[in-house]
Amino acid sequence: MFVKDVVVQNQVGLHARPATFFIQKANEFKSSIWIEKEERRVNAKSLLGILSLGIVGGTTIRIIADGADEEDAVKGLVDLVDSGFAEDAR
């Protein structure tokens, strides 16, 4: 299991388009991946799960992965969150 805390950098958090980008990236990995906010954990590959957390900009989330590519999965998702979802600005 690989775990990393990260602060959501974009202003709107993980809503709508940023959540979709996050899920697309999560689906590139074989590991099981979860997002945790304030002790509540959801599947990182589920739009409804992510949206149910109400993650806004500046929120600290924990990304957890378990599986063959767990470290790469977490690092890839952290990089996406750290980028502020730059693709969303297009």
Query: Mind telling me the catalytic residues?
Result: 15
DSSP sequence for 19-41: HHHHHHHHTTSSSEEEEEETTEE
Token pair belonging to 8: 């959501």
Q: How far apart are CA 63 and CA 79, in angstroms?
A: 11
